[in-house]
Amino acid sequence: MRIVFFGSPGSGKGTQAARIAEQYDLTHISTGELFRSKVLDDTRIGRRIGHVIAAGQLVDDITTNYVLFKALDGMKRFLVDGYPRNVAQARSFDVHLKNLNLELTCALFLDVPEEEAVRRLSLRRNIRQEKKENHQRADDAPEVIHRRFQVYRRATEPLVEYYGDRMVAVDGTGDADQVTARILEVLKPWE
């Protein structure tokens, strides 16, 4: 199985991707996590990525593709979450897989209304503030959440059309267990 997960910020990609990867024993790669670990390196590239993320923008495609393809090197069964983020990345990924004689199983779209997704992200911020956790995400600040949604609508939503028949859409509302059950149901044909 080779799956990509996409959806708006706060759609629950991270939560669901970890569960589904475990269920099917797939390598789980999140480009957001990859980038956040680069930021911790405190190198020139890490600082540059940190500024982009904190502004709610997308990291450039060349860096993103390089980082992801390197992380996926040698993997045949995987679930990628948060990538592609735009049609250019989706095209590059199709070419990359073709060069490896691999095919994408499906692109899974987690569909959650914007108000619900914003509520989740604000909740995450509040919980971390209450716990005084020092790994608060700069991009969960209210003004940045707004920017991330603008970027999502402009750059990421067109993936629905790009993937067409290769896409499966899943209702991402309700509690996490309900969403997992829906995803497992739609993935059954590829088990």
Give the one residue of 23, 27, 48, 52 binding ligand B4P; rule: CB under 6 A. 52
Q: Which residue is nearest to ligand B4P (CB)?
A: 32
Least Å distance between CB 91 and ligand B4P? 13
Give the one residue of 120, 128, 147, 166 binding ligand B4P; rule: CB under 6 A. 120
Give the one residue of 2, 3, 4, 11 binding ligand B4P; rule: CB under 6 A. 11
Q: Which stretch binds ligand B4P (CB under 6 A): 27-35, 71-79, 96-104, 160-168?
A: 27-35
Query: Which residue type, as a one-letter code, is found at position 60?
Result: D
Number of residues that bind ligand B4P (CB under 6 A): 30
Q: Are 38 and 28 in contact (CB under 8 A)?
A: no
107 binds ligand B4P (CB under 6 A): no
Write out the residues near ligand B4P by the rule CB under 6 A: 9-15, 30-32, 35, 52-53, 57-59, 64, 82-85, 89, 120-121, 124, 139, 148, 175-176, 179
